[in-house]
């Protein structure tokens, strides 16, 4: 996968996590089956604060993986 695609995927993912954390996405998804589809299969049972916590941890983990992938191309998942 090229660097441009790697950066683009991270930006799209970051928009989703930012929506959940800062722009009311967690409140909108709370108790909905859509939370199970887009966040985690157990997220239907979580409060908005739990969804935000999960989103923050995932964003942190993806940020670390993104930084590693910038310098070590072998850790990127696909050869696009």
Q: Six-digit token pair at 64?
A: 């670390």
Distance CA(7)–CA(38), nearest Å, equals 21
Report pLDDT for 79. Answer: 54
The CB-side HSE value for 42 (13 A sphere, CA atoms) comes to 2
Report pLDDT for 45. Answer: 92
pLDDT digits 0-9 by tens, 16-43: 999 999 998 999 999 889 999 999 999 9
Query: The whole model's pTM is what?
Result: 0.85
Report helix, strand or coil for 2.
coil
């Amino acid at each position: 996968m090229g660097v441009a695609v790697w950066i683009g995927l991270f930006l799209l993912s970051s928009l989703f996590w930012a929506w959940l954390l800062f722009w009311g996405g967690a409140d909108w998804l709370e108790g909905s089956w859509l939370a199970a589809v887009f966040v985690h299969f157990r997220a239907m049972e979580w409060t908005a604060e739990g969804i935000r916590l999960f989103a923050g941890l995932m964003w942190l983990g993806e940020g670390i993986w993104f930084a590693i992938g910038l310098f070590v191309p072998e850790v990127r998942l696909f050869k696009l």
